Structure formats: C-alpha cells, structure tokens
C-alpha cells in the first residue's frame, strides 16, 4: 500500500497539478491514511499561521480549534465522502480562532482503499463580520423606519394619532375580520382655547392640550382609537359602543377635564381650568358610513358650542336633517 511518500509522489506526477494546488488562493491541505498532514500549501501557511515544519506529519486535527469541530468534520466526511463549505472553528497561530469553511473529499487508490483526504479551506470570518454588520445595519434601518412611521402617524405634542391615521385605524377596525356591530364616534373641542393662548401664551396652551390628551388616554379602553383631529379638537372612535355608551364616555371625559387644573408658573402662580364641548354619534344608529358618523358628531359638537359650551350633545344633527331632506 502507498505510504506518505507514495502519496506525495502521486500528487507530484503532474507539474500542472502542483502548480494548481500551490497557486490556489484557498488553503490546500492533504493528509495520509492516518490523517497526518502531507501537503501544506503557501496559502495554508498564510491562513493558519503555522510554518510547514510545524504542521507536516502532524495530525490534521491541530488545524481545528475544537475537538468537537474536528469530529463533526470527520463524521460528515465519512458519511458523505465529500463535504462543501462546512463551517467549523479553525486555528490561527497566535491569533483568535477564525471561521473556517472546509471543503474536503476522501481519496482512494485504485483498489478502493482510503489513502487520505484533500482539504480546501477558506476564511469565512470576514464574511461573517460583513453579515453581522449587515444584520446590525438592517436592524438600525428597521428601527429608523419604525420611528419615522411613528412620527408620521402621531402628533408630537400629545403622542396621539394624527387625524388621517386615526381615521385609517378606525376604518381598518370597522371593516376587519372581527368588525363590531356598533361603532361610536366622539368629537371634542376645548372651549375658548384662543383666550388661553392670548392670556397665558402658547406654551401654556400646549400644556392644556396635553392635559386633555392625557384624560382621553386614561378614560379610553384598550381598543379605543383616539387622535388629534385639529388644533384644539380631538376625536375618539369606540368599537362596540352604541350611542348611549359613547355619550357616557364623552361625559366622563368632560367631567375629568372640568376637574383638572393646569399649573402656570409666573409672577403669581396660577392654576387654570378649562372645559370642553363634545358631539357624539354611533353607527348604525346615526349613520351608515364612518365619514357620515364623523359629520354627525361634528354637527352635534357645533350645536354644543352654540348651546353654551361645556356639554355633550348626542341628539339632532344638521347633517342628518340635510340627509333626510
């Protein structure tokens, strides 16, 4: 049977084969039947960091960083006779281990006896670093997209949905798989808000708006949809709420706002109070479509302001009267 020297002779039969092996940018390593290194190219020396004298005639397993990695490689090779780009930790002399991609095949003589193994090894560390960097960048990009989507959909002052986003969310709920049988709409408007801005300034006005937003959030249920409808106007969509329930919700909000105080710092400390007016509607009792329900609620809000403000109106509608006519 051919020994180690016979194996080298076999590989050296053709100068072209030698040139191919030594010119290959991959590390090329060959072993004999005892799994000892008998061929170790220049690319191998660059990759593993060992001089040929340190590796030749030594067990090839010393090029593997862990015994588990070598055993895994060997099992795969014996089972399949060849492997392609099997990634296991590899040794680099005086440096941290690297991710080695091992491709290998068992070599047999003409009698079918195993005479050794030929291995091609690539350093996948840079590839893994690039993949990790790409994953990190993708994660950052996804976070940025989520942030931009949130900014685009929400009001910066109150944290509530913008008008369009609130309506889109309401429509998605209304026409979703578990669409509710009834759907309440409430529109709120801060009474005499211009006077607050003129007397105390816009910063205090912003605090008042934020206070109303806080009350709405605390009063709303988990599935309710609330948003900033306009300057000092807010809207709430209540899935499953009939007219009586949405009117009760609006009254609770009105009462809580009336009890709240906004503290103003200045020469003389002042606590100001505000009131709100509201108009409410519900589907299908008041309208057949969401847009019509919003119009009914808006008409009733206007009626609440005309009737003296600081009240909730849940009956009558200019829009409903126009529609009926």
Residues taking part in catalysis? 232
CA distance 197 to 119: 79
User: Which three-class secondary structure state does DSSP give residue 53?
Assistant: helix
CA distance 126 to 169: 45
Closest CA to 216 of 170, 173, 250: 250
Task: Extract the runs of DSSP E, i.e. beta strands, from 131-214.
Answer: 183-190
Per DSSP bridges, beta strands 37-40 and 82-92 are unpaired
Q: Is 200 exposed, middle or buried (0-12, 13-18, 19+ CB in 10 A)?
A: middle
CA distance 280 to 152: 27
259, containing H or E segment: helix 243-259
Cβ–Cβ under 8 Å, residues 40 and 29: yes
C-alpha 21: how far from its chain's center? 47
C-alpha pair distances (Å), 246 with each of 158, 159, 190, 212, 236:
22, 22, 18, 17, 9
CA distance 211 to 287: 31
């Amino acid at each position: 049977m051919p020994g180690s020297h016979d194996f080298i002779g076999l590989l050296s039969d053709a100068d072209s084969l030698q040139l191919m092996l030594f010119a290959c940018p991959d590390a090329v390593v060959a072993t004999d039947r005892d799994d000892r290194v008998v061929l170790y190219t220049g690319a191998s020396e660059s990759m593993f960091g060992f001089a040929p004298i340190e590796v030749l005639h030594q067990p090839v397993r010393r090029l593997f960083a862990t015994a588990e990695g070598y055993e895994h490689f060997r099992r795969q090779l014996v089972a399949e006779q060849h492997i392609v780009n099997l990634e296991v930790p590899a040794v680099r002399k005086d440096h941290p281990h690297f991710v080695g991609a091992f491709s290998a095949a068992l070599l047999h003589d003409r009698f079918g006896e195993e005479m050794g193994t030929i291995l091609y090894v690539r350093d996948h560390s840079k590839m893994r670093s690039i993949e990790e960097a790409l994953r990190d960048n993708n994660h950052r990009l996804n976070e940025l997209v989520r942030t931009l989507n949130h900014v685009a959909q929400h009001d910066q002052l109150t944290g509530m949905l913008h008008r369009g986003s609130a309506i889109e969310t309401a429509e998605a709920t209304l026409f979703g798989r578990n669409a509710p049988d009834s759907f309440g709409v409430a529109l709120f408007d801060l009474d005499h808000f211009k006077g607050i801005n003129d007397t105390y300034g816009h910063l205090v006005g912003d605090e008042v708006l934020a206070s109303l937003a806080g009350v709405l959030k605390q009063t709303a249920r988990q599935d309710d949809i609330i948003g900033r409808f306009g300057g000092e106007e807010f809207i709430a969509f209540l899935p499953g709420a009939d007219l009586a329930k949405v009117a009760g919700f609006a009254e609770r909000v009105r009462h809580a706002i009336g009890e709240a105080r906004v503290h103003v710092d200045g020469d003389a400390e002042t606590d100001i109070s505000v009131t709100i007016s509201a108009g409410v509607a519900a589907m299908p009792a008041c309208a057949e479509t969401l847009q019509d329900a919003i119009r009914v609620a808006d008409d009733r809000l206007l009626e609440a302001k005309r009737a003296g403000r600081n009240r909730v109106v849940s009956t009558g509608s200019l829009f409903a009267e126009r529609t009926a006519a």
